[in-house]
Amino acid sequence: MFKFIHAADIHLDSPLVGLSQHEEAPAEAIRVATRTALTRLIDYAISEQVAFLVIAGDLYDGDWKDFGTGISFNHEMRKLESANIPVYLIYGNHDAESRVTKSLTLPSNVHVFPTKNPATFQHPTLPVSLHGQGFATPAVTENLASNYPEPVGEHYNIGLLHTNLGDADGHGNYAPSNLNQLVGHGYHYWALGHIHQRKIHHSNPHVVYSGNTQGRHINETGGKGCYLVTINDELETENCHFQELDSVRWDNVEIDCSGLTDEHQVLTTVRDRISKALNDVDGRLLAIRLTLTGHTTLHESLHAEHTRLTAEARNIAIEIDHESIWLEGVRLKTQSLLDPNELAKQDDLTAFVLDALEAFDPSDLPMPVANLQKKLPADAIKALAGALKPGTDQERKEIAEDVTAIVLQAIATSDSAS
């Protein structure tokens, strides 16, 4: 019997998005989170006395900022070298050969697959063959796996592949492959990288994404880590155990405001839910987003007070535990109880304004507004610039929702409303 670890998408020294610019954030823990995950991976490999470690691409996030990234990786690899644990790795789209321009001599236990053609490494003492090919450039569009070698007889065969299996939606279509192809190739275990959400696509033979080792933004919630794989004496895959390695845990908590009637209740609920989420992360640092939902009479006031509401929530998070929680933001997805169609019946002007709101896009304001910017003090221009040139569709949509809610509220509470 022997064990190995399958990890991928370590993205060493990748910044965690949306966190570091706030001074209350436990910045240091956040800054080193991907390194902490790597250290935990190595400690785990040693404590489990694994026979080897495979890393299926995107070890690095891109070109190194400085040599510290390589030095840090080598330091961890030497711990495995001392424990006689070899490492096999391929480069992915993020750390393709052409993209990472700096390099350091690797410890002798680290084996890197070539990028021009597939190759096979054999474990020094076990009947194990590992096959793989790394990315030469970030955009590999061929089906790399189709050229991988035949399995080696009487060996446990592992394929390392950075791939978009079955053209998963929303992911760069790098080195596409499909499940039937991999299952039919004759290997025992496909150690996949690229998709950050872990998934066992097939068992016996195993086709597995380990996911990344540390979530890096709000769309990478939940536990992140690696698989510990146990092989029995018949060279069968006996067990695939997921091990968490992350030190910062992302959580997107939905708060239903339907039954809530004032802001005090909202903030009380915010406090309860943040406390609960912190309990759930077992001593990790919690990076949390709150998303408020539900049909509620508070819809308009929440939108009108979005900035202050976010500050109140951040204040609560700091009060609960300023070293362990970072509030990424508060999203409003509540819905109004006001009926625009009813309001539109008030008079023609109201109907006209409501009609205009439907098509409102803050990036598409008329020229006079843009000219007005020239006459305003610097602070006001800065604030306006943020509102007028939102970076993403999402931000534009949120501004439009805020404006719509505020205007609806104004109309509903004006004198002409009954």
Q: What is the binding site for Mn ion (CB under 5 A)?
A: 9, 58
The smaller minimum CB distance to Mn ion, of residues 194 and 299, is found at 194
The smaller minimum CB distance to Mn ion, of residues 95 and 251, is found at 95
Q: Which residues have a Cβ under 8 Å from the Cβ of 280 and sit 6 or more positions away?
A: 251
Q: Which of 104, 157, 88 is nearest to 129 (CA)?
A: 157
- Burial code (b: 16+ CB inside 10 Å, e: under 16) for 372-406 equals eeeeeeeeeeeebeeebebeeeeebebbbbbbbbb
Contacts 24+ apart (CB under 8 A), 195-204: 195/164, 195/165, 195/168, 195/171, 196/9, 196/220, 196/224, 198/224, 198/225, 198/227, 198/242, 200/240, 201/165, 203/237, 203/240, 204/236, 204/237
411, with CB counted inside 10 A (0-12, 13-18, 19+), is: buried
CB of 39 to Mn ion, least distance (A): 19
CB of 192 to Mn ion, least distance (A): 11
The smaller minimum CB distance to Mn ion, of residues 34 and 247, is found at 34
CB of 195 to Mn ion, least distance (A): 8
CB of 60 to Mn ion, least distance (A): 10
282, with CB counted inside 10 A (0-12, 13-18, 19+), is: exposed
The smaller minimum CB distance to Mn ion, of residues 164 and 334, is found at 164
CB of 312 to Mn ion, least distance (A): 36
Tokens of 181: 């192809």
The smaller minimum CB distance to Mn ion, of residues 2 and 113, is found at 113
- Give the type of residue at 224: K
Q: Are 77 and 109 in contact (CB under 8 A)?
A: yes
CB of 58 to Mn ion, least distance (A): 4
The smaller minimum CB distance to Mn ion, of residues 8 and 42, is found at 8
Residue nearest to Mn ion (CB): 58
The smaller minimum CB distance to Mn ion, of residues 34 and 336, is found at 34
CA distance 378 to 89: 52
CB of 343 to Mn ion, least distance (A): 48
